[in-house]
A and B are shown apart, each in its own frame.
Chain A
């Protein structure tokens, strides 16, 4: 038993857990003053039901013995009983590490439903989504020692290179981005969307949240090495490069398009860069990480405007940031993986086109499954308990109606 690896994984799991309250600040600052508490409560609520979902069936479906490469045995380890009894430090903390991933992934979705989703509906959604969407997809990519459906050497891509997803480009970001889009469509637009100003009420919160997310992301990416080794070190450095260059990419777009480089743009560029490097952090060199960060900032800065064009109210840009940059990072492996760090080389490093195709296929499978499964859960809730608060609640503020609290004396 290597205590160094165990210590790093304990640290990493703690860092990843911090990302969810960081997300609460990031999203909370972007929301309006009358709904900031509800926004932050969706993240904290995800910590509650995410833990419950993980220890009941989520962990088993994600990490249990595979059933036809589709899902892990749901009754593999109810309540983590066997895992905890084993006394195997690496196994136990790996289960905990997995819980922190499930929590942050479902919490990411909450950005698309700002100001208008019933809190009870959110909690139920988050519980069901972790079990039926997050856990199966994580099983495909990471379950059973990378041998399941979407893992390298899995049945879908048996004789092909890849796919690679080191820390969750497909499982976490594409998955959450698609789910956010589906929920936003099911809920409909907020009253006044596209007409009234819905400006972020506290940009310092947003910047603090982005800073804490960057810090937590070291656990997310470098911790996904499951060891204090060269992969972890590579992932750490690539993570920082992509986040830093992501700021520049976003700000350049803003300067050209809007005339000013904004603080919200800088915070968003950090997150876009982090999202895109997540799947690729062990596959590229420093140059590759810089390209990934730069284009993540540029692409997401351009993509956040799409919601006005197409009329879906993805309030805090889960689609524009997580889906778009998650897709870019996943595909970028097929283009610029250098082949000497982790597995196969991408197109521009002499690896041919097949890795890009495999990466695209893995992304497509995730998109299709996430869209369908999220739609089913969302529709079931919509026609039973209902998803949306009344128009009156939306106007007066969801904080007071759903939580009996207001964040500020005069919130609008």
Chain B
């Protein structure tokens, strides 16, 4: 099993969620995040005084999938989140040892 984590522009969240659904993913966890990559932060000006805002708002989306689906899901996220501008985000995949479904107590791929 794999955990696919995507840090994306918050305004692409709906498109990515729809793309995941189309790819057969049954569930997703979304949280607000803040950070920066190559785009760095941005500058705001209040009464002429410049302030650098280091951390910019991002959305973090997490999906648990079968090993076989990881590549497809990653591509679905990338194509749905892409705007081509700096600051679009990153998607990564890590191996997961075990997953348990709380309601039934099932473990492993059955719990996905």
Q: Is A265 an interface residue (CB 8 A)?
A: yes
Q: Establish whether residues B44 and A199, one from each chain, have CB atoms under 8 Å apart when the complex forms.
A: yes
Label chain B's interface by main secondary structure. strand
Q: Establish whether residues B47 and A197, one from each chain, have CB atoms under 8 Å apart when the complex forms.
A: no
Q: Establish whether residues A265 and B49, one from each chain, have CB atoms under 8 Å apart when the complex forms.
A: no
Q: Establish whether residues B45 and A262, one from each chain, have CB atoms under 8 Å apart when the complex forms.
A: yes
Q: Establish whether residues A262 and B49, one from each chain, have CB atoms under 8 Å apart when the complex forms.
A: no
Q: Establish whether residues A260 and B45, one from each chain, have CB atoms under 8 Å apart when the complex forms.
A: yes
Q: Establish whether residues A305 and B49, one from each chain, have CB atoms under 8 Å apart when the complex forms.
A: yes
Q: Establish whether residues B46 and A199, one from each chain, have CB atoms under 8 Å apart when the complex forms.
A: yes
Name which residue of chain A comes closest to B47, CB basis.
A304
On chain B, the residues within 8 Å of A308 by CB distance are: 49
A320 to B49, CA, bound (A): 13
Label chain A's interface by main secondary structure. loop
What count of chain A residues pass the 8 Å CB interface test?
Answer: 19
A200 to B47, CA, bound (A): 10
Name which residue of chain B comes closest to A259, CB basis.
B45
Q: Is B105 an interface residue (CB 8 A)?
A: no
Q: Which of B22-69 touch A at CB < 8 Å?
A: 44-49, 51-53
Name which residue of chain A comes closest to B51, CB basis.
A197
On chain B, the residues within 8 Å of A268 by CB distance are: 47
Q: Establish whether residues A257 and B51, one from each chain, have CB atoms under 8 Å apart when the complex forms.
A: no
A258 to B46, CA, bound (A): 9
Q: Establish whether residues A305 and B51, one from each chain, have CB atoms under 8 Å apart when the complex forms.
A: no
Within the complex, the shortest CB–CB distance from B54 to chain A, in Å, comes to 9
A320 to B47, CA, bound (A): 10
Q: Is A69 an interface residue (CB 8 A)?
A: no
On chain B, the residues within 8 Å of A254 by CB distance are: 45, 48
Q: Is A277 an interface residue (CB 8 A)?
A: no
On chain B, the residues within 8 Å of A199 by CB distance are: 44, 46, 51
Q: Is A389 an interface residue (CB 8 A)?
A: no
Q: Is A52 an interface residue (CB 8 A)?
A: no
Within the complex, the shortest CB–CB distance from A63 to chain B, in Å, comes to 37
On chain A, the residues within 8 Å of B45 by CB distance are: 254, 258-260, 262
On chain A, the residues within 8 Å of B53 by CB distance are: 197
A201 to B104, CA, bound (A): 46
Name which residue of chain A comes closest to B48, CB basis.
A305
On chain B, the residues within 8 Å of A198 by CB distance are: 51
Q: Is A393 an interface residue (CB 8 A)?
A: no
Within the complex, the shortest CB–CB distance from A191 to chain B, in Å, comes to 16
Q: Is A165 an interface residue (CB 8 A)?
A: no
On chain A, the residues within 8 Å of B44 by CB distance are: 197, 199
A27 to B86, CA, bound (A): 36
A200 to B45, CA, bound (A): 11
A200 to B51, CA, bound (A): 11
Which of B48, B52, B53 has the most CB atoms of chain A within a 10 A radius of its CB? B48
On chain A, the residues within 8 Å of B46 by CB distance are: 199-200, 262, 264
Name which residue of chain B comes closest to A257, CB basis.
B48
Within the complex, the shortest CB–CB distance from A265 to chain B, in Å, comes to 7
On chain A, the residues within 8 Å of B49 by CB distance are: 305, 308
A198 to B44, CA, bound (A): 11
Q: Establish whether residues A264 and B47, one from each chain, have CB atoms under 8 Å apart when the complex forms.
A: yes
A198-B51, A262-B45, A308-B49 given; name 19 further pairs at CB < 8 Å: A197-B44, A197-B51, A199-B44, A199-B46, A199-B51, A200-B46, A254-B45, A258-B45, A258-B48, A262-B46, A265-B47, A301-B47, A301-B48, A304-B47, A304-B48, A305-B47, A305-B49, A317-B47, A320-B47
Q: Which 9 A-B pairs have the closest CB atoms?
A: A197-B51, A258-B45, A304-B47, A305-B48, A199-B51, A199-B46, A264-B46, A304-B48, A200-B46
